[in-house]
Amino acid sequence: MLLDTTTTPTSSPAAAPARLGWRQRLAERRRLQRVDRVGAKLARLDAVSRLLARAETRLEAGWTQDAWFVTRDDGVLRHHVGTLHADQGVRSEAVCLVAAIAVEAMPGSITGPDAQRAIGALWNVLHGGSAAADWATAPGVTAARAYDLVRWNDASDRRQSDVLALVQASRASMDRASAALRADLARA
């Protein structure tokens, strides 16, 4: 008995997609551009949230006031003040709020985009706003906000729990903004 190796199509070939008109193409292009913008903002929010999580872990390990950070050299505690050299704080025993951001944002200190946004998020939440309220601040604005956060960190009545609560509130605000963006992206 011979086998028949010829096959017959069981369904018709897929119809060629209809050509879209210029309005449909324009609408699709705009939709894709919006998806790209929302996706990029979501990536920035997630990067800042991860930076704040690392800073929180560092602050939980040790927190200080009136110094950027404290290191132990040959058994002696050394308080680093003056110009912030974040690379020196990598092996610190304790850090202040702004130094935690700077050390975890290496190598850019607070001048990198994620660190600037983290400083902005902390400052906005401290002053009753949303963590993701503004994303494009001039370096001078970031420096002023960092200085304000340092003064807040160094207040005599400030405790480690206060600093950790600010970081946690900032992360929670970022998570809410991320969830809203993810929902927006799902609708796109």
pLDDT at 126: 95
Please state the domain extents for the chain.
29-60+97-187
Residue 10 pLDDT level (bands cut at 50, 70, 90):
low
pLDDT (tens digit, 9 = 90+) per residue, 20-63? 788 888 888 887 888 778 888 888 889 999 999 999 999 999 99
Q: How far is CA 37 from CA 34, 45, 54, 116, in A?
A: 5, 12, 26, 20
Strands (E), the chain: 69-73, 76-80, 94-95
pLDDT at 140: 85
pLDDT (tens digit, 9 = 90+) per residue, 140-169? 888 999 999 999 999 999 999 999 999 999
pLDDT (tens digit, 9 = 90+) per residue, 78-87? 888 777 777 7
- If you ran DSSP here, which 8-state letter would residue 63 be given? B
Q: Do residues 146 and 119 make contact, with C-beta atoms less than 8 angstroms apart? A: yes
pLDDT at 5: 58
pLDDT at 132: 64
pTM listed for this prediction: 0.79
| Averaged confidence pLDDT in the chain | 84
Among 11-15, 86-90, 133-137, where is mean pLDDT lowest?
A: 11-15
Mean pLDDT of the region 95-102: 94
